[in-house]
Every structure is written in structure tokens, then in C-alpha cells.
Amino acid sequence: MERNISEIITHFSIEGDFLGFEKNTTGHINDSYRVLTSAAGHPGYFLQWINNYIFKDIEGLMNNISEVTGHLAEKLAENKSLDFKVLEIIPCNDGKKFYLDADGQYWRMYTFIDQMHGHDVVDDVHIAYEGGKAFGIFMSMLADLPANRLTETIPGFHNMAKRLETFYKSLITDSADRVKDIQQEINFVRKRAAQMLGIPALIAEGKLPKRITHNDTKFNNILFDSSDKAVCIVDLDTVMPGSLLFDFGDAIRTGANTAAEDETDLSKVDINLPIYEAYARGFIKSLRQTLTEAEINNLAFSARFMTFIIGLRFLTDFVDGDPYFRTSYPQHNLDRARVQFRLVERMESKADKMHDIVLRSLEIEKAPVI
């Protein structure tokens, strides 16, 4: 859809005059633009079209982001030694946190975070360790923000029972006539479905604590500075009450896969154990005071859980004719699902090693600093 960016930004309270914009191509959901203005020394702005098909409650979503960024900003002001940055919402001229245009489309704006970069596939243990630490710090800084201040903007986002039910319904409807192409994948899902319901059961029984979590901890949602220190967590659309396991698992799914999320040569897909270990150590270091026994026992499995659930969502979207995730070609969601399922298999074969690494990391990171 062609959008009149120069007109849209007039509704936000920005410094300087509009000079131009560049479209950012990452992410499967929203559309993002870097907007440049004439304000001297200003990094510009990050304007986003928010996908209302996916995010039905934009008011709740922006309120969640505002609560979280406000809380983080307070924490950072109190603790200057933490060299961390937080997204800054730019309000509209009327004070609102989002702009609803005449076509019913939703927009929001942040200050652009300049001179930072992300990592898609990670092959450096230092970067993995930094990333783990950063997501751990993010979660620990949010530990005292009361969870009832946030809305569950996508109900059941990582609810496995619900995702499975939706998948089975889609198979029956078969609206895009694609079920015939995915018999192997259906068998893969059925074989593991029962095992995957273990984590939701622990959450329902109150054995896994609810925390404020990010819920979309793709490794490239961590921004690094020029010396590759992790300094900012972005993409806060799904900050909600959740389990710490979701955040650990999704970062491993993305950061510790030796291949891209949509790699077509499945022989390249594997879990990179040194990267996994480095991330686990960083994460555990930041959260060692808070981790419960049930979280520790399920940390390694959470990587499989999250890889399975995202694979299931890609597969469901393929069956439905791709209404959810942005795709570049007709098989794209199927390719993504196949990568996730191959990664689950690779993690199954290394399950014991992955759990041992968690225990070893705990030993190392829990040792008193001398």
C-alpha cells in the first residue's frame, strides 16, 4: 500500500522539518520507516505502521509499551552504571501515543536509535553472551512492574493448546488447498503435540511464575553498539505477562540456529551449542537471583518449545493462504516451518547436552564474585 509518509508525520510532535524517509525491510508484521528531519544533530525518527489485522487492541498495545519504557527509563535514571538505552515514544500533537489516519490505519513513532546494529545469524560467542545478558537485564528491570498494569494484547500468544487447536481447524477448512503438500509436517506435529503441552500445564498450575516478558525475543531485536556491546531491546509490541521460558526459547531459536529462519537447504540447520551456551550464561548471569527451580529445569526444553510453536504458526499460516506473516513467495511459510521443525529435531538429539549446559552455566554464573 502506498502511504503518504510526509503527511502522516505532520501529526507527530517532531523537531525540524521533514527531509525524507527510508523504508526498513526487516520484520514480518509492521512496516517501518526511518524519517529524517532538518533538526541539527538529531538522529531522526522511527515511524511504524502498526498491523491492525494482528494487533487488534492498539490502545492496549501502546499503553503496554508506554508502561514498560517509562519503567525502564526510571530504572536507568536510578542506576547510571547500567549502560543501556530505552525506546522513547514520540507522541502525536494531541498527546496520544498513536495516530489513526483517515483510512483507519494506525501509526506510532519513536526517536531513531542511531549507530546501532543487530545480528541475524550469530557466530560469535561474545555476541551471544552479550545478547543473553541484555534480555536478562531487560526482564530483571521489569520484575517490579506490576503485571496487572499490562494488557494481554494478543490473548494466548504462546498458548500451545490454542495454537494446536487453530492448526487442526485450519487443516479441516483447508482454505488454500495446501493440506495435500504437508503430510510429513502434520505427522511431525501430531507426534510431539502431547509433549509440548507440558509447559502450559506447569503455567496453568502456577508452577511456572508469570512475569513481564518480551515474547518476541528474536536475536535481532537486540541492538549492539559499535564495540558490539548489547545496549537496547527493541520491538516491544508483545510485552505482556508471560513465562521467562518464552523469552529464553525464542532467542535460542533465532540466535543459535546455524541457518536463517527461511533457509531452503535443511542440511544447514542445526543448534550451535557454543552459541547456546554463551547465551545461556549471559541470561543466567543477569537473572540468577530470580530463576526458580521449575524455570531452570525447563530452560533447555524451552528452546524446543518455542521453535515448535513458531514452526506451527508458520505452518498454520501456510495452510490458511498466508494471511498473517509477510511472505516473499508462495512456499515461504512452509520453508520457514520446515526450518523450525528441523531445528526441533536437532535439539531433540542434543537435549541432554543442552540441559547439562544450563546446569554448568548456573554453577559458573552463581559462583560468588571474588
Class of residue 113 by CB neighbours under 10 A (exposed 0-12, middle 13-18, buried 19+) = middle
260 in helix, strand or coil? coil
CB 313 within 8 A of CB 159: no
Does position 261 interact with ligand GN1 (CB under 6 A)? The reply is yes
- Residues between 230 and 269 that touch Mg ion (CB under 5 A): 235
Residue-wise DSSP of 142-189: TTTS-GGGS--SSTTTT-HHHHHHHHHHHHHH-TTS-GGG-HHHHHHH
Distance between CA 98 and CA 106 in Å, rounded?
A: 7
Does position 251 interact with ligand GN1 (CB under 6 A)? The reply is no
Query: Binding ligand GN1 by CB under 6 A: which of 54, 92, 176, 186?
Result: 54
Does position 31 interact with ligand GN1 (CB under 6 A)? The reply is no
Q: Which does 263 bind (CB under 5 to 8 A by kind): Mg ion, ligand GN1, none?
A: none
Q: Whole-number minimum distance, CB 297 to ligand GN1, in Å?
A: 24
Nearer residue to ligand GN1 within complex by CB, 130 or 237: 237
- Residues between 132 and 151 that touch ligand GN1 (CB under 6 A): none
> Grid cell 549507530 — which residue?
115
Q: Which does 28 bind (CB under 5 to 8 A by kind): Mg ion, ligand GN1, none?
A: ligand GN1
Does position 118 interact with ligand GN1 (CB under 6 A)? The reply is no
Distance between CA 7 and CA 313 in Å, rounded?
A: 36
Nearer residue to Mg ion within complex by CB, 10 or 26: 26
Distances 92 to 97, 110, 262 between C-alpha atoms, Å: 6, 11, 37
Query: Binding ligand GN1 by CB under 6 A: which of 216, 263, 320, 322?
Result: 216
Q: Whole-number minimum distance, CB 237 to Mg ion, in Å?
A: 5
215 in helix, strand or coil? coil
Nearer residue to ligand GN1 within complex by CB, 76 or 266: 266
CB 54 within 8 A of CB 29: yes
Distance between CA 135 and CA 155 in Å, rounded?
A: 23
Helix, strand, coil in percent for the chain, rounding step 5: 50, 15, 40
Single out the segment in contact with ligand GN1 by CB under 6 A; choices: 1-9, 21-29, 111-119, 222-230. 21-29
Single out the segment in contact with ligand GN1 by CB under 6 A; choices: 135-143, 173-181, 232-240, 292-300. 232-240
Does position 29 interact with ligand GN1 (CB under 6 A)? The reply is yes
Query: Binding ligand GN1 by CB under 6 A: which of 67, 130, 235, 263?
Result: 235
Q: Whole-number minimum distance, CB 216 to ligand GN1, in Å?
A: 5
Print the binding letters for residues 192-231 with Mg ion: x by CB under 5 A, - otherwise.
------------------------x---------------
Distance between CA 30 and CA 50 in Å, rounded?
A: 5
Single out the segment in contact with ligand GN1 by CB under 6 A; choices: 24-32, 81-89, 136-144, 271-279. 24-32
**In the beta sheet, which residues pair with residue 108?**
48
Single out the segment in contact with ligand GN1 by CB under 6 A; choices: 22-30, 103-111, 192-200, 275-283. 22-30
Residue-wise DSSP of 62-95: HHHHHHHHHHHHHHHHH-TTS--B---EE-BTTS
Per CB under 6 A, residues contacting ligand GN1 are 27-29, 54, 216, 218, 235, 237-238, 261, 310
Site residues, Mg ion (CB under 5 A): 216, 235
